[in-house]
């Protein structure tokens, strides 16, 4: 049984703060790690797919790093804005392509003015 | 491109009834996966359809069944509904090609069982 853990469960920051959260996953048989952003009443939106140890990906103010040897990924948001308020999910596929995803419980981020 | 669409948006049923949820995948996608998200949890994998067959299944009872049509759209059926089936049901589509395939999600169907 795959165990994907995310911390913290929730986070409340002020506009302009930078923040980061963690996704921990089994380090053996690593294939890929997905990060999703999920705003209330919308579809989960794919942010990054990370495959290589040491990978660092960036999309605007959001970036992510990957350490497959120790089994964790960090998601960073620089200069948080209210529109960043969402639940951030990481997901780990059991096997290869188009495989079922095992999700963490998510980190709920709220950014206030 | 409309992306992944699901219908209905919300549904209220009573215990013992049956329900059918529908999903249309993103254009060009051939694989549909269904997930259940209960309150306070991450989405849980139910099953995946490819070439009109169930290819993988999560830890869900046989009351949960599905179907994929030749146009790649899919249905999720739940029989003998229980209160615990109340959840958000998400559909995700992907293309079964080489490499890592991203799964694109629909907005979900909120099922309430009374």
Residues in CB range of B23: below 8 A, 6 or more apart: B4, B5, B6, B32, B34, B73, B74, B75, B76, B91, B93, B106
Q: Which of A30, A50, A41, A40 is nearest to A90 (CA)?
A: A50
What are B54's strand-pairing partners? B49
Contacts of A43 in chain B (CB under 8 A): 3-4, 104-108
Residues in CB range of B62: below 8 A, 6 or more apart: none
Contacts of B91 in chain A (CB under 8 A): none
Contacts of B95 in chain A (CB under 8 A): 98
Over residues A59-77, the pLDDT tens digits come to 999 999 999 999 999 999 9
3-class DSSP state of B101: coil
User: Which pLDDT belongs to residue A112?
Assistant: 96
Euclidean distance between CA atoms B22 and B108, whole angstroms: 10
**Residue of A35, A43, A49 best to disrupt the B interface, most CBs of B under 10 A:** A43
Q: Which whole number is the average pLDDT over A101-111?
A: 95
Over residues A21-69, the pLDDT tens digits come to 999 998 887 888 999 999 998 999 999 999 888 899 999 999 999 999 9
Q: Which whole number is the average pLDDT over A70-87?
A: 96
Measured in angstroms, the CA of B16 and the nearest CA of chain A are apart by 28
Over residues B65-104, the pLDDT tens digits come to 999 999 999 999 999 999 999 999 999 999 887 777 789 9
């Amino acid at each position: 049984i795959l165990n994907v853990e995310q911390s913290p469960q929730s986070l409340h920051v002020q506009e302009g703060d930078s923040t980061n959260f963690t996704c921990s996953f089994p380090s053996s048989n690593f294939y890929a790690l997905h990060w999703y952003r999920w705003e209330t009443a919308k579809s989960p939106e794919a942010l990054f797919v990370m495959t290589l140890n040491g990978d660092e990906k960036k999309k605007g103010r959001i970036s992510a790093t990957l350490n497959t040897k120790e089994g964790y990924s960090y998601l960073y948001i620089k200069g948080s804005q209210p529109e960043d308020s969402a639940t951030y999910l990481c997901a780990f596929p059991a096997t290869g392509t188009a495989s079922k995803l095992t999700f963490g419980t998510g980190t709920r981020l709220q950014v206030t003015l | 491109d409309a992306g992944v669409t699901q219908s209905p948006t919300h549904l209220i049923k009573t215990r013992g009834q049956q329900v059918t949820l529908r999903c249309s995948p993103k254009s060009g996608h051939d694989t549909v996966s269904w997930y259940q998200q209960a309150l306070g949890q991450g989405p849980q994998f139910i099953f995946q359809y490819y070439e009109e067959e169930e290819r993988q299944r999560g830890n869900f009872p046989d009351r949960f069944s599905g179907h994929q049509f030749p146009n790649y759209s899919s249905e999720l059926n739940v029989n003998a509904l229980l209160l615990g089936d109340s959840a958000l049901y998400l559909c995700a589509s992907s293309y079964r090609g080489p490499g890592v395939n991203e799964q694109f999600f629909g907005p979900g169907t909120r099922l309430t069982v009374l």
